[in-house]
Structure 1
């Protein structure tokens, strides 16, 4: 069986194009049929030639040449139009020749029994059945009429005619039945797969909605507890408040773990390939982390042969970096963190750009002791096992799947003083690219806007939030720092207010009726393009996962804070974006 499997795989030629499974299957089947028909007809022709029957040898050898050309030339090109149709034309000519003239071997008429299998597998049950019945009708016509009027036509005995007819009908029934069973099995599998996917998607949506609904009131609870904790309290009262606070935080962790469990699979990220500036993309991603932590330093370097712009999936690229940097920020226990990012090109093939990313985080990441063995003494299987443990410890399983989608590997190499992350991403050339060294200065200027520093007490802030109680809580958080706060109940109202007044900063909820925060942010950024201005927008949302943060940044928001949060964290973000 292994030999047969290997033999059949020879007919699946390597293709540069990414083909669908159905296309690959059809191509393989067509190539197998083409090859065996060539062998059969060629043997028939050689036998006729040896018997010096040139009347049969000439046409059969000519048909075998046509099959050989079709197999060797067109069969290797999956996008060649009418490949199956051309093969089927040769099949029809061959079987008509066998039916009318027979052959020197004496078994030629019985080859028509294979026709239903060929027709039905090439064109499906309906078209294949029609073609098979049409050929059978021609065979009967030949038996009854044509053989007496066509010169050199083969005449058959009644027994052979009956046997050939029964054999053809039997072959037709078997071929049609097998194709029907195969189609039903595939349909059942597809239905099961779709139902499973729909069930999983529905369950994930319900869990995600439940998480958001729980996080919002928890945010209000923890916020009020923080404010209440700053008032004069007795020791017992403060202890009670701390207990409530700890319980609320535990509830947040429970919700987060629940959603994480449901999202063990890879969430689909749009595979849209756009032209983008990689240096700018990474620089903006780094800025999210460096601005939130003054003691976290970054170094970003590109090799000179990397073009400034390229085509690829910018969202997935940012998602990978956000996840890795989040993991480093969460587990690196060093007080001063230094992260070096090196990007180099690993190939010089025209059209594609294979980039190798190397992130080195200096400082101690407390991997469990069993991960820290001398890996140089182990074989490759042990190395891969430890890498999997490192990825699991840093909660980077999703990131690994994103990287492996392009056929690349993700490795983590921990040392006592540093941890190195290495992976590759595939991009495509953009014909309007320039050297990255020519655009580094442009990145720093085009991505920033000249804006005078504003003191938080003098700032005019727009709060966009549809829930009244949430509005009151947010105002309570910042009212001691900010004197002027205006409120909009949805994105449409926020746009109207933005067009009539000048705001120094916007606090934007994400999910709102009429117009959500993403759409409102995009509209605001479109308006600002004509005025060459930029108003900082901070997303305030109960959506608390990396893909949620990424979506906020991609839509044009400057920052993101997830509920529940400490009021001081929100104040610090506001001060940062006003300065």
Structure 2
């Protein structure tokens, strides 16, 4: 058995880029099948040639050349889109020849028994079953008509025709059953993996929320203690404050260790980028819900400018769709469910593929009254608040977190007849050309925006923070260094102020109502593109996971400081970016 395993693995060619597991499996099966068919047909051709039977020798040797070329040229290319389709067309031609003429041994029609296995394993149960049906109809036509009118066609007796028909039907049933069992096993394993991932992400989310809730008041406490420590105090008072400060710092260390240890125990969805076919990934995800549910129908449409393969996280993409489709299946009470999935490209930036996904669930999802909007003319801010309620009701909090990891937002728009889920995901082009990041680095190095240094005393700073106590603490930190500080209570208000005044620096909270700090930063950077300006933005947040800083920087922020922090650290960062 080990020898057979090693022999089969010889057909799994190594490529420069990583490909999806499912694609590798189909490619390996195609390579093995292609090789063995070449060997069999070539031997048949040689036997016919030795017997001087040129009628069979010529076609069979020609077919073997087709299989050899397909195996040696197309099969070794990881980006060959139509490899299995080309292989399958050669198989149909070869098997049709055997059906009509029988081959040099007159028993080649027996090879028809492997046709259902080939079709179903290459194209899946439904498409493979359709191709098998077409082949079966061709066999019947040959028995009834072609064998009577085509010269040199093999003549089959009635008993042989019945036997071959039963043989083909049983082969199809066995192939379909085995594929069904395999699909059910894989579906069970995949659902278990997704549930396990959701459970781990839920624990991570709880720990992150707890850490943030503890760090924010701790930051206020340590900040007030720092300010008190600079006032005139008696020795006893200073000793008391130092004791409180030490205890607060110990609590900060406890929270930090808790986050670190919990983080090491969790395994978030891998961010490894692989080359994969998005249409195949989504189509396979849809099949998990449609194959055993006749009351749930799907339609999937792609815009023409989306490439067939791209680089990205296929597991996370599938997890997002599984969670949303699971939620629709759970909460959509319509007897007949129709789900339309539309995928479009929303930018043409080199190296980046930013896609917009719209999932439209036809049928009523009965949201509770408190989750419904009576006024369809609500502002975007109110609709965003309502979306948060819808996400909570549909148990899509983890899905929202996955979508937000690269700066996108999940929108849910329900009405009486349908509910629309809309979100974006960013991928990379599957190319070896220069990356967008390198291009941006060159632009950044060549353009310094000609921004002059600003003295901190004369700087105009915008503080974006929704919590009043936190506002006061930060103002107390920097008021002796900065003369002009303006406050915005959320990202939307910050955008309004940014459009009306010039700021030298922005201190940006991350989690805020109406519009969070990530989205506000992205909007600001979009505005600055047209003016060729750049305003430093420092994230001031209680989010302390290592990836929180990466997410802040990815959204366009220039720096990051987590609570609790020393006032001198914040002032130092402000001076650095102003200079």
TM-score interval for Structure 1 and Structure 2 normalised by the shorter chain: 0.5 to 0.7
Moved more, 500-509 or 208-217: 500-509
Counterpart secondary structure, 2:453: coil
Aligned to 1:541: 541
Aligned to 2:373: none
- Post-superposition shift, 1:14? 3.8
Counterpart secondary structure, 2:540: strand
Distance 2:516 2:188 in 1: 40
Counterpart secondary structure, 1:564: coil
Normalised by the size of structure 2, how large is the TM-score? 0.62
Aligned to 2:99: 99
Distance 2:219 2:438 in 1: 46
Tell whether the 8 Å contact from 2:41 to 2:63 is kept in structure 1 after alignment: yes
Moved more, 178-187 or 66-75: 66-75
Counterpart secondary structure, 1:73: helix
Q: Relative to structure 1, is the Cα distance of residues 54 and 540 closer, same or farther in structure 2, using a 3 angstrom cutoff? A: closer
Aligned to 1:23: 23
Counterpart secondary structure, 2:75: helix
- Post-superposition shift, 1:249? 1.8
Q: Relative to structure 1, is the Cα distance of residues 10 and 240 closer, same or farther in structure 2, using a 3 angstrom cutoff? A: same
Distance 2:138 2:434 in 1: 57
Tell whether the 8 Å contact from 2:48 to 2:57 is kept in structure 1 after alignment: yes
Counterpart secondary structure, 1:178: helix
Distance 2:92 2:503 in 1: 77
Aligned to 1:450: 452
- Post-superposition shift, 1:519? 4.3
Distance 1:226 1:214 in 2: 18
Q: Relative to structure 1, is the Cα distance of residues 268 and 181 closer, same or farther in structure 2, using a 3 angstrom cutoff? A: closer
Counterpart secondary structure, 2:539: strand
Moved more, 43-52 or 501-510: 501-510
Aligned to 2:194: 194
Distance 1:565 1:432 in 2: 31
CA-to-partner distance for each residue in 1:180-210, whole Å, 9 max, x for gaps?
1122222222222222233333332332222
Q: Relative to structure 1, is the Cα distance of residues 82 and 158 closer, same or farther in structure 2, using a 3 angstrom cutoff? A: same
Distance 1:53 1:522 in 2: 74
Aligned to 1:507: 507
Query: Aligned runs of 1:238-387 on 2, under 5 Å?
Result: 238-264=238-264, 265=267
Aligned to 2:214: 214
Q: Relative to structure 1, is the Cα distance of residues 128 and 489 closer, same or farther in structure 2, using a 3 angstrom cutoff? A: closer
Distance 1:560 1:531 in 2: 25
- Post-superposition shift, 1:155? 2.9
- Post-superposition shift, 1:217? 0.7
Moved more, 222-231 or 520-529: 520-529
Aligned to 2:324: none
- Post-superposition shift, 1:17? 4.6
Distance 1:531 1:97 in 2: 69
Tell whether the 8 Å contact from 2:35 to 2:68 is kept in structure 1 after alignment: yes
Q: Relative to structure 1, is the Cα distance of residues 34 and 216 closer, same or farther in structure 2, using a 3 angstrom cutoff? A: same
CA-to-partner distance for each residue in 1:41-62, whole Å, 9 max, x for gaps?
2222333333333333333333
Aligned to 2:492: 492
The reply on whether 1:2 has 2:2 as its aligned counterpart is: yes
Q: Relative to structure 1, is the Cα distance of residues 536 and 95 closer, same or farther in structure 2, using a 3 angstrom cutoff? A: closer
Q: Relative to structure 1, is the Cα distance of residues 444 and 246 closer, same or farther in structure 2, using a 3 angstrom cutoff? A: farther
Aligned to 1:344: none
Q: Relative to structure 1, is the Cα distance of residues 126 and 151 closer, same or farther in structure 2, using a 3 angstrom cutoff? A: same
Distance 1:432 1:554 in 2: 11
Tell whether the 8 Å contact from 1:46 to 1:61 is kept in structure 2 after alignment: yes
- Post-superposition shift, 1:552? 4.0
Counterpart secondary structure, 2:12: coil
Distance 1:461 1:443 in 2: 26
- Post-superposition shift, 1:502? 5.4
Distance 2:534 2:136 in 1: 76
Tell whether the 8 Å contact from 2:510 to 2:541 is kept in structure 1 after alignment: yes
Q: Relative to structure 1, is the Cα distance of residues 474 and 3 closer, same or farther in structure 2, using a 3 angstrom cutoff? A: same
Tell whether the 8 Å contact from 1:460 to 1:504 is kept in structure 2 after alignment: yes
Distance 2:559 2:59 in 1: 76
Distance 1:432 1:228 in 2: 46
Tell whether the 8 Å contact from 2:449 to 2:532 is kept in structure 1 after alignment: no
Distance 1:535 1:252 in 2: 31
Q: Which runs of 5+ in 1 are unaligned?
A: 273-311, 314-425
Aligned to 1:38: 38
Normalised by the size of structure 1, how large is the TM-score? 0.62
Tell whether the 8 Å contact from 2:125 to 2:179 is kept in structure 1 after alignment: yes
Moved more, 123-132 or 552-561: 552-561
- Post-superposition shift, 1:40? 1.7
Aligned to 2:155: 155
Query: Aligned runs of 1:89-128 on 2, under 5 Å?
Result: 89-128=89-128
Distance 1:546 1:532 in 2: 31
CA-to-partner distance for each residue in 1:248-299, whole Å, 9 max, x for gaps?
2222222222322343347766979xxxxxxxxxxxxxxxxxxxxxxxxxxx
Moved more, 258-267 or 210-219: 258-267
- Post-superposition shift, 1:219? 0.6
Counterpart secondary structure, 1:30: helix
Tell whether the 8 Å contact from 1:47 to 1:105 is kept in structure 2 after alignment: no
Distance 1:157 1:267 in 2: 60
Structure number with greater Rg is 1
Distance 1:141 1:243 in 2: 94
The reply on whether 1:181 has 2:181 as its aligned counterpart is: yes
- Post-superposition shift, 1:218? 0.7
- Post-superposition shift, 1:38? 2.0
Distance 1:104 1:478 in 2: 93
Counterpart secondary structure, 1:211: helix
Distance 2:268 2:450 in 1: 34
Q: Which runs of 5+ in 2 are unaligned?
A: 275-310, 313-430
How many pairs align?
423
- Post-superposition shift, 1:444? 9.1
Q: Relative to structure 1, is the Cα distance of residues 59 and 484 closer, same or farther in structure 2, using a 3 angstrom cutoff? A: closer
Moved more, 109-118 or 222-231: 222-231
